[in-house]
Amino acid sequence: MRFINNQSSGKIAEVIEAETTRFTAQCYDLYGLPPLGSLVHTGDVYAIVFNASTSSLEPGRKPLARGKDETTEEDIYKSSPQLAKLLRSEFEAVTVGFKDVESLRQYLPPQPARIHAFVYLCQPDEVKEFGGSFDFLDILVNAALPIPAEELIAASLRQMSRVQDDPRAFLVAAGKELASLLSSQYDRLKSILGRLS
Amino acid sequence: MTDRLGIVTEASLERGVEVRLDGPVSVEDMVVGRYVTIEGQQRRFFGMITDVSLGVTDQRLTVTPPDVTDPFIREVLTGTSTYGSIHVTPMLTIGGDAESILEGPQPVKTIPGHFSVVNLASEEDIERVFGSEDPQRFHIGNPLDMETKLCLNLEEFVKRSNGIFGKSGTGKTFLTRILLIGMLQKSQAVNLIFDMHNEYGWEGSSEGTTGKVKGLKQWGQSKVAIFTLDKENSATRKVPTDFTVQIGYDEITPEDISVLRSTLNLTELAVEAAYQLRRRFGKGWLRETLALGEGDTSQEDIDGILKEANIHESSFQSLRRGLGIIQRLGFVVPQAPEDAVKHILNQLDRGVSVVLEFGRYREISAYLLVANMLSRRIYAQYQERSEKARANDTALPQPLVITIEEAHKFLSTEVAGKTIFGTIAREMRKYNVSLLVIDQRPSGIDEEVMSQMGTKITCLLDNEKDIDSVLAGVSGKNELKAVLARLAPKQQALIFGHAVPMPVAFQPREYGSAQSYKEFGQAGSQTDTARAEKDIEELWE
Ligand SMILES: Nc1ncnc2c1ncn2[C@@H]1O[C@H](COP(=O)(O)OP(=O)(O)O)[C@@H](O)[C@H]1O
Ligand SMILES: [Mg+2]
């Protein structure tokens, strides 16, 4: 539980699979998952969390249901402390940019993240800086993901808007950027905007 | 409203420029007729907004419209997926280098590049193109929705015949009055105004709150004389007239009758009879013709004369009836005590403009007869003097501008060839005489005459034929049509042609308030100003 307490500044996970466009990371704490759409970074690479899962450490072995005699769900974990060691939380993030010397670039990095690289949740000032450009939306709009891109885009913009001085103006500007990216795909635009307002 | 409007997305020399409006710019602020500048790479373009439209990037938006009650969605979509666009007709360009700036505005021979920025034209832009008030340039109004003064070079203006058009009640008379004041103040030309409704000389009427507005004489006492055809009527209206015009039988010619043919409902043969009778009787033909059958002449004698002159009895009767109408006009007398033409010329030669009031003689036949007859003889004088001056290398007579209303009656295809006005319009001021024609039905004016007019100013017209005839031969005709058709029903006009570098829709100066008199006064000479102020005081005492 050490990490959860200072999650806001410390590493939260470690890369266990990486390619140019995305990586998978395992969290140090069970359920220590960053929210859908949040901005994370590992090394110079910036990415947005698009998927998360918690499953058994041993592939193929499913956990058993244990709560029949417990009153609360928490009691299950209390009475079987080993559970935290048998389960793991993982998330996947889509690469949306990288830090090139001093500047943030919102396009794909020359190298993917490295295995075992630490993953950090971006701090409000980092999020704010990253949100200064909407070029990353182009990557998200075109990314082939297992979840609908509209959901992810809306989630990430909602997250980013929270740290802005004027959240509404930020969303309007982002919306306008999307309107031009999706100029001939009104249906997609509509479903994103519907999740922002 | 910001000054930046948007960017060029499409353009062609033939069809004009398509401009996509920026998100924050509301289509509803865009009105046709307004001026914009387009910042090309090498030159600036001046153009007029000639259409405004809405567009969507995806047709599905029109099928399932977004929830516009949500202000967020509305704000995002405005200017992006849904946008306004304007159609701009380029009128002029100004090059970027020093040389082209000196050359001034040039006609448009190319188009601005993709995504050139489009701005609302600024006051300086308008001033650069139209010039500012100076000894030749007269402030006639302001471009639509702008505070800038729109100035017209009156020296240039009076070099050609010009026209003022518009439906009844749109402001033609007010505009004419403004231009006449301008000419009095800023051009070398003298004016002869055939004032059918008695509104230019001393006092005119207004539908506005004042009810009455000042005429020309109240502006330039020493430079304007008021002549009248109806002394009593002028006196009733307390107009200080300078001369009463009467016309003797001898002064009327068969040409004058032929111009009146359709007005008097004469047959072709009846007009022909007038010519034959003049051949027979000479100068006194009208008196003789009227006397035939009235006094002692026997029917036998009449028959004899008609037979000899080869005139059919029915043509003769038709002519007699027409001449009877003329004879009954109060200002037509067997023998005029004084020569009106001589008196008019005397004034004009002294640089004094003449307004001829018609008093109660508002019938078109009186107007046609008098305007045509007097102009013909005055023109003949100018012709003679000009030819003499050219032969002797001396100064040409002072330019003369003749103002006529109901111009289509003088300049229809049927009579344009016969009236003096057709000749003046076609000759393009060969003898230093030009026309200012005022008309509410320009389609009735001969096409060729229309095409010879230098500058046209038109208030609202709604008849398709009239619009076509006014705009015939103008480049960007279809676009200007849209502008013309949307002018306000009063006190808005479109000016284009010789005296202006590009067409512009404008609001003529306010005329009629004490303040306006003061401003018009200031544009004139010092003495004029002093007088105007004195007049204003008197007016409000
Ligand atoms: N420049 C102007 N200043 C003030 N009032 C105007 C002006 N132009 C038009 N008007 C108003 O519109 C009315 C009609 O104008 P007028 O010139 O008599 O029309 P028209 O000669 O075309 O029939 C005037 O009586 C006046 O009230
Ligand atoms: Mg009028």
- pLDDT at residue number B295: 67
- pLDDT at residue number B531: 47
SS (H, E, C) chain A: CHHHHCCCCCEEEEEEEECCCEEEEEECCCCCCCCCCCEEEECCEEEEEEEEEEEECCCCCCCCCCCCCCCCHHHHHHHCCCHHHHEEEEEEEEEEEEEECCEEECCCCCCCCCCCCEEEECCHHHHHHHCCCCCHHHHHHHCCCCCCHHHHHHHHHHHHHCCCCCHHHHHHHHHHHHHHHCCCCHHHHHHHHHHHC
Q: Which atom of ligand 1 is nearest to the CA of B516?
A: 3
Give ion ligand 2 contacts, CB < 5 A: B 173
Instruction: Give me ligand 2 centre to Cα B414, in Å.
Output: 24
A176/B58 Cβ within 8 A: no
Per-residue confidence at B530, pLDDT binned at 50, 70, 90? very low
Among the partner residues A179, A183, A187, nearest to B76 by beta-carbon distance: A179
Measured between alpha carbons, how far is B90 from B103 in angstroms, rounded to an integer? 18
Q: Which atom of ligand 1 is nearest to the CA of B512?
A: 4
- pLDDT at residue number A82: 86
* pTM, two decimal places: 0.80
- pLDDT at residue number B522: 67
Selection from B360, B382, B358 nearest residue B371 by Cα: B358
Q: Which atom of ligand 1 is nearest to the CA of B509?
A: 1
Q: What is the pLDDT of residues A43-76, one digit of tens each?
A: 999 999 999 999 998 878 888 888 888 899 989 9
Q: What is the pLDDT of residues B57-78, one digit of tens each?
A: 888 888 888 887 889 998 898 8
> Closest-CA residue in chain A for B71?
A197
Take residue B394 and report the two structure tokens written for it: 């001396």
Question: Distances in Å between the alpha carbon of B525 and those of A66, B139, B149, B224, B520?
Answer: 106, 15, 19, 15, 10
Q: What is the pLDDT of residues B469-485, one digit of tens each?
A: 999 988 888 889 989 99
Instruction: Give me ligand 1 centre to Cα B508, in Å.
Output: 10
- pLDDT at residue number A4: 38
Measured between alpha carbons, how far is B185 from B178 in angstroms, rounded to an integer? 11
Q: What is the pLDDT of residues B248-258, one digit of tens each?
A: 999 999 999 99
- pLDDT at residue number A109: 94
Return the number of CB contacts < 8 Å for A and B. 43
Among the partner residues A168, A183, A197, nearest to B81 by beta-carbon distance: A183
Q: What is the pLDDT of residues A75-115, one digit of tens each?
A: 998 888 888 888 999 999 999 999 988 889 999 999 999 99
Where exactly does CATH 3.40.50.300 map onto chain B? 153-246+338-540
Q: What's the whole-number mean pLDDT along residues B175-196?
A: 92
**CB atoms closer than 10 angstroms to residue B389:** 15
- pLDDT at residue number B521: 79
- pLDDT at residue number B230: 94
Q: What's the whole-number mean pLDDT along residues B149-169?
A: 93
- pLDDT at residue number B292: 80
Q: Which atom of ligand 1 is nearest to the CA of B511?
A: 3
DSSP character at residue B444:
G
- pLDDT at residue number B541: 44
Q: How far is A154 from chain B (nearest CA, A)?
A: 14
ipTM of the assembly? 0.83
Say which ligand is closest to the CA of B171: 1
The structure tokens 């505070």 sit at B147
Question: Distances in Å between the alpha carbon of B205 and those of A79, B218, B531?
Answer: 103, 14, 22
Q: Is A169 on the interface with B (CB under 8 A)?
A: no
Weakest-pLDDT range from B322-336, B358-372, B417-431: B417-431
- The residue contributing the CA closest to ligand 1 atom 9 is B171
Per-residue confidence at B329, pLDDT binned at 50, 70, 90? very high
Cα angle, residue A166 at apex, residues A163 and A169 outer, rounded to 5°: 120
Asked if B47 and B91 touch (Cβ cutoff 8 Å), the reply is yes
- Going by their DSSP bridges, the two strands A87-100 and A22-27 should be labelled as antiparallel
Residues of chain A positioned with their CB less than 8 A from the CB of B66 = 190, 193
Q: How far is B72 from chain A (nearest CA, A)?
A: 6
Q: Let me know if residue A1 belongs to a domain.
A: no
Residues of chain A positioned with their CB less than 8 A from the CB of B23 = 176
Q: In chain A, how many domains are there?
A: 1
Position A1 pLDDT exceeds 60: no
Q: Is B16 on the interface with A (CB under 8 A)?
A: no
Q: Which atom of ligand 1 is nearest to the CA of B205?
A: 25
B61/A186 Cβ within 8 A: yes
- pLDDT at residue number B33: 87
Take residue B277 and report the two structure tokens written for it: 């009778």
Q: Is B76 on the interface with A (CB under 8 A)?
A: yes
Residues of chain A positioned with their CB less than 8 A from the CB of B20 = none
Q: Is A197 on the interface with B (CB under 8 A)?
A: yes
A185/B80 Cβ within 8 A: no
Best residue among B206, B403, B457, B487 to mutate for probing ligand 1's pocket (most ligand atoms within 8 Å of CB) is: B206
Instruction: Give me ligand 2 centre to Cα B204, in Å.
Output: 10
- pLDDT at residue number B535: 53
Position A3 pLDDT exceeds 50: no
Say which ligand is closest to the CA of B175: 1
Residues of chain B positioned with their CB less than 8 A from the CB of A180 = 80
Range of A185's domain? Answer: 11-193
Best residue among B176, B490, B519 to mutate for probing ligand 1's pocket (most ligand atoms within 8 Å of CB) is: B490
Among the partner residues B72, B79, B81, nearest to A186 by beta-carbon distance: B81
Q: What is the pLDDT of residues A103-152, one digit of tens each?
A: 899 999 999 999 999 999 999 999 999 999 999 999 999 999 999 999 99
Instruction: Give me ligand 1 centre to Cα B489, in Å.
Output: 10
Q: Is B61 on the interface with A (CB under 8 A)?
A: yes
Q: Let me know if residue A3 belongs to a domain.
A: no
Q: What is the pLDDT of residues B257-280, one digit of tens each?
A: 998 998 899 999 999 999 999 998
Best residue among B174, B403, B513, B520 to mutate for probing ligand 1's pocket (most ligand atoms within 8 Å of CB) is: B174
Domain B153-246+338-540 -> CATH class: alpha beta
Percent of chain B with pLDDT over 70: 95
- pLDDT at residue number A57: 86
- Going by their DSSP bridges, the two strands B190-195 and B400-404 should be labelled as parallel
Who lines ligand 1 at CB under 6 A? B 166, 168-174, 206-208, 490-491, 508-512
Q: What is the pLDDT of residues B432-459, one digit of tens each?
A: 999 999 999 999 999 999 999 999 999 9
Q: What is the pLDDT of residues B396-408, one digit of tens each?
A: 889 999 999 999 9
Measured between alpha carbons, how far is B23 from B5 in angstroms, rounded to an integer? 9
**Structural Rg of chain B based on CA atoms:** 28
Top residue of B76, B77, B83 to mutate, by most chain A CBs within 10 Å, is B76
Among the partner residues A168, A178, A186, nearest to B60 by beta-carbon distance: A186
- Going by their DSSP bridges, the two strands B106-107 and B82-95 should be labelled as antiparallel
> Closest-CA residue in chain A for B66?
A190
Q: Is B77 on the interface with A (CB under 8 A)?
A: yes
- The residue contributing the CA closest to ligand 1 atom 23 is B169
Q: Which atom of ligand 1 is nearest to the CA of B166?
A: 22
Say which ligand is closest to the CA of B176: 1
